[in-house]
Amino acid sequence: MPQLTPWLVTLCSTVVNALIRLVLFTFGRVEVHGRDRIPQGPAIMVANHLHLVDPPLVMAVCGRPVHPMAKRELFETPLVGWIFWGMRAFPVRRYSADMGALRAARAILRRGEPVLIFPEGTRSKSASIQPVLPGAAAVAVLSGAVLVPVAITGTEAIRVPGVFLAWLKGARPRISVEFGEPFSLPAELKQASRATEASDYIMRRVAALLPESYRGAYGEGSKGNVVFRRSEVRPTAPRRG
């Protein structure tokens, strides 16, 4: 699917952000903390992932145009793909070493723009952080850009049509987005051979902003361990006929 022209991307991004803000601030009680911590220039935002609305939510509240990394399958879906291109997103082939996605992220950062990565690679069904993939660490090492931890809570409560019923009852879910202090990887972790340790280091900075019940694999019980998930190529179902 071809990418949209720059002016269409800008228009679509503006419309999507406005719609997301309207929906989320109408049907949820959205709180944003630490937005002033987001630096100007290139930055890698790393966040936990609870719901499909998380990428546009962060885009809508961070105050800067941001480029989310999203699974390639979304871009290959009719209409949905155009929406994601319009959201300034770029595709990644999950569970594999996708050098194209890494180069795309580096190019965006070199332009002085931020990218948004969900290191878990998929939504958490338990609302707690799962062991992460090394993508965010690879982008950080490749680009040298600063990282910004982003903690999201409350979006796991968004269900349709339940969210509309809750709104009618005046019981809107409380949604929170907190931006932490920017940080860089320690010098000893800026090596390809230390990607697993770098991934653990990055996600613990996100976990530190979350309540213990959301920290999951990076909670108190895992301190002293290096927690990560290896990249893997998932087998595709055989074609019929």
Cα torsion 77, 128, 192, 189: sign: positive
Query: Residue 97: what pLDDT?
Result: 66
Q: Give pLDDT tens digits for 182-216.
A: 999 999 999 878 889 999 999 999 999 999 999 99
What is the amino acid identity at position 193?
S
For every residue of 140-174, DSSP letters joined together read: HHHH--EEEEEEEESGGG--TTHHHHHHHTT-PPE
Q: Give pLDDT tens digits for 110-155.
A: 999 999 999 998 889 899 999 999 889 999 999 999 999 999 999 9
Lookup result for tokens 């795309």:
104
Query: Residue 191: what pLDDT?
Result: 86
